[in-house]
Amino acid sequence: MTRTTGATVPVLDGIADLAPRFDLILCDVWGVLHNGERAHAAAGEALTRFRALPGERPRRVVLVSNAPRPGSLVQAQLDGFGLPRSAYDAIVTSGDLTRALIAASAGEPVHHLGPERDLPIFEGLDLRRTGAEEAAHVVCTGLLDDETETAEDYRERLAAMQARGVRMICANPDLVVERGTRLIPCAGALASLYEHLGGEVVWAGKPHRPVYQEAVATAAAIDGVEPVAPGRILAIGDAIRTDIAGAHGFGVASLLIARGIHAAELGIEGGATLGDVAHWLERQPVHPDAIVERLQW
């Protein structure tokens, strides 16, 4: 069943009718395929079924994540959560793009702002890690303790870096991420505050074009064919600011997963179902082409 909102955005029950219109899905990970603790089985099944659809060219799924770590580590995490590898063809992360940005400034002093679990982002790169006082660049992967801290706890140290003209590479542009039933602050919250303080930020991930360009090129390389035309690409995600705005800026269709980081705003926490979202959409800077409560066939 399909219904429309007052903003004429269709609300779907699943992607079965929508999927045949596309050859490539660029799919978000957190909040769409898992909640930070376990995979959503219906989402994995939906992507697997999409990849099996017949067509003039193979249907491909590239997972596009703002995770501040290489795609290989995200894949290991997805294996642990129980997402089948049949659901996707490749993974492109903001961590991958961050590594390329670091490599472009090889040998320059770099400070890491983030938890130790994100240190694999630096493995194998030619760099000199230093304290914030010596750094030419700071790579921000997140808060040191995202369970208890907020961006405001970093205001003083960010102001000191801004005064020295330190460039920040934000390895995860997300403001928050879903972890179980809670929303946890991400590197994007720190980077946004840094920009507000006048600091220079390079954003390595959604909603910025480079991560989409890399994902489309990755999909084309799998089959050795020309990249999929924008009109045959669907971006799926749960965040207006990154997933939907990014798709809009890149010129491709988008599908919003309502039961993600906007669930509380939409009133569908717990067992509640998605109601009229027209008024909510009116307050958003960009609109998706369609909405579905959760990713399913």
* pLDDT tens profile 9-46: 899 999 999 999 999 999 999 999 998 889 999 999 99
**What's the pLDDT band for 3 if we cut at 50, 70, 90?**
low
Q: Are 3 and 274 in contact (CB under 8 A)?
A: no
3-class secondary structure, 239: coil
Question: How confident is the model over 75-95, as pLDDT tens digits?
Answer: 999 999 999 999 999 999 999
CATH code for the domain of 44? 3.40.50.1000
Q: Confirm whether 234 is domain-assigned.
A: yes
- The count of C-alpha atoms lying within 13 angstroms of the C-alpha of 218, restricted to the half-sphere facing its C-beta, is 21
Both 251 and 265 in one domain: the answer is yes
Residue 114 burial (CB count, 10 A): 22
Both 57 and 129 in one domain: the answer is no
Q: Confirm whether 245 is domain-assigned.
A: yes
Q: Confirm whether 49 is domain-assigned.
A: yes
Q: Please report where in the chains the tokens 């990970």 appear, as a residue.
A: 29
Domain that holds residue 174: 97-203
Task: List, edge to edge, every strand of the sheet that includes 253-257.
Answer: 2-4, 10-12, 290-292, 253-257, 233-237, 24-27, 60-65, 90-93
Both 282 and 148 in one domain: the answer is no
> Of 203, 218, 247, which marks where a domain is finished?
203
Looking at the 3D structure of the chain, how many domains does it have?
A: 2
Is residue 104's pLDDT more than 70?
yes
Q: Confirm whether 250 is domain-assigned.
A: yes
> Of 203, 225, 243, which marks where a domain is finished?
203
206 vs 243: CA distance, rounded Å:
6
Both 14 and 152 in one domain: the answer is no
Which pLDDT belongs to residue 42?
98
Q: Confirm whether 18 is domain-assigned.
A: yes
Both 166 and 133 in one domain: the answer is yes
Phi/psi at 42 (nearest 5 deg)?
Answer: -65, -30
Q: Confirm whether 193 is domain-assigned.
A: yes
Both 177 and 268 in one domain: the answer is no
For range 56-67, the mean pLDDT = 96
Q: Confirm whether 179 is domain-assigned.
A: yes
Is residue 283's pLDDT more than 70?
yes
What percent of the chain clears pLDDT 70, i.e. is strictly above it?
97
Both 130 and 217 in one domain: the answer is no
User: Between 62 and 126, where is the model more confident?
Assistant: 62
Which pLDDT belongs to residue 43?
98
199 vs 269: CA distance, rounded Å:
36
Is residue 5's pLDDT more than 60?
no
Is residue 138's pLDDT more than 60?
yes
Alpha-carbon distances of 24 from 31, 63, 232, 287, rounded to whole Å: 20, 11, 7, 20
- Paired tokens of 148: 């208890």
219 vs 61: CA distance, rounded Å:
8
Both 6 and 83 in one domain: the answer is yes
pTM: 0.86
Is residue 2's pLDDT more than 60?
no
**DSSP letter (8 states) at residue 15:** S
Which pLDDT belongs to residue 274?
79
59 vs 164: CA distance, rounded Å:
48
Question: How confident is the model over 166-195, as pLDDT tens digits?
Answer: 999 999 998 887 777 788 899 999 999 999
Q: Are 66 and 94 in contact (CB under 8 A)?
A: yes
**What's the pLDDT band for 155 if we cut at 50, 70, 90?**
very high
> Of 182, 203, 224, which marks where a domain is finished?
203
Amino acid at 283: R
Both 222 and 82 in one domain: the answer is yes
Q: Confirm whether 297 is domain-assigned.
A: no
> Quick one: which of 164, 188, 296 has its CA closest to 239?
188
Both 42 and 180 in one domain: the answer is no
Q: Are 208 and 129 in contact (CB under 8 A)?
A: no
199 vs 158: CA distance, rounded Å:
8
**What's the pLDDT band for 110 if we cut at 50, 70, 90?**
very high
Phi/psi at 164 (nearest 5 deg)?
Answer: -90, -5
Both 91 and 61 in one domain: the answer is yes
Q: Are 70 and 95 in contact (CB under 8 A)?
A: yes
Angle at CA 91, nearest 5°, toward 77 and 200? 95
Both 106 and 47 in one domain: the answer is no
Is residue 1's pLDDT more than 70?
no
For range 260-270, the mean pLDDT = 83
